[in-house]
Amino acid sequence: MSTAESSAVASGLAWFKSSYSGAEGGDCVEVASDTGVVHIRDSKALPGPVLRVSREAWAGFVREA
């Protein structure tokens, strides 16, 4: 897991937000997939840090959620 990346570095990615988040935003995260890595950021703080996890770690998180 790494948090060294900023959203500016990850700006070229296609970010996705849950369809359950609604138009108001709320407390949401956005995810983007890259080769072997899933990027996660706070949708309310786009210039903020980006958490990077392996695809396997993300799949395990989603499976448990």
Number of domains in the chain: 1
pLDDT higher than 80, residue 32: yes
pLDDT at 38 over 70: yes
pLDDT of residue 35: 87
Q: Provide the pLDDT for residue 24.
A: 66
Cβ distance 36 to 54 under 8 Å?
Answer: yes
Q: How far apart, in whole angstroms, are the C-alpha atoms of residue 16 and residue 30?
A: 5
Name which of 52, 54, 57 is nearest 39 in CA terms.
Answer: 52
For 6-29, the pLDDT digits (tens) are 555 567 889 888 777 766 656 788
Q: What are phi and psi of 9, to 5 degrees?
A: -70, -35
Sheet arrangement for strand 16-17: 2-6, 49-54, 37-42, 29-34, 16-17
Tell me what the pLDDT averaged over the chain comes to: 81
Structural domain harbouring 15: 2-64
* pTM of the predicted protein model: 0.74
What tokens were used for 28? 């949401």
